[in-house]
Amino acid sequence: MDSCLICAIIAGEIPGDFVLQEEHVVAFRDINPKAPVHVLVVPRVHVENVAELAATSPQILAAMATAAQRIADSETGGQFRWIFNTGENAGQTVFHVHGHVIGGGVLSWDPA
């Protein structure tokens, strides 16, 4: 998928600061970090959003969750927020599913 930013980063066509590269999942640092640690965890397969991934490849979504925890274990003492913006009105700008792993310090905004 030539027009997808995340597919291009996975393919090495656009540089990415990778923190993890697995068979089905990769993770790289967000170019505009909103917290001391801000990593995007993504499946290699191009799927638009988290619900579509859950419906088509739940095992890959599970692999993303364990990857997010391992990143947090090494960078934030295991504590993190995991955000999937879904749809333009929710702030999704890249339509290849990506979980934002946010952490480091005490997060100031609590959605709950």
> Which chain residues interact with ligand 5GP by CB under 6 A?
5, 14, 16, 28-32, 85, 91-94
Q: Judging by beta carbons within 10 Å of its beta carbon (0-12, 13-18, 19+), is residue 55 exposed, middle or buried? A: exposed
Asked whether position 46 contacts Zn ion by CB under 5 A, the answer is yes
Tell me whether residue 7 or residue 20 sits nearer to Zn ion (CB atom).
7
31 binds, among ligand 5GP, Zn ion, none (CB under 5 to 8 A by kind): ligand 5GP
For ligand 5GP, give the closer residue by CB, 78 or 91.
91
Task: Report in angstroms how near the CB of residue 7 gets to Zn ion at its nearest.
Answer: 3
Query: Which secondary-structure segment (H or E) carries 5?
Result: helix 5-10
Contacts of 43 (CB under 8 A, 6+ apart): 24, 25, 53, 57, 60, 61, 63, 64, 97
Determine whether 98 is an active site residue: yes
Q: Which is nearer to Zn ion, 6 or 35 (CB)?
A: 6
Closest of 23, 27, 22 to residue 37, by C-alpha: 27
How far apart, in whole angstroms, are the C-alpha atoms of residue 95 and residue 88?
9
User: Which residues of this protein are in contact with Zn ion, per CB under 5 A?
Assistant: 1, 4, 6-7, 46, 96
Residues designated as active site:
98
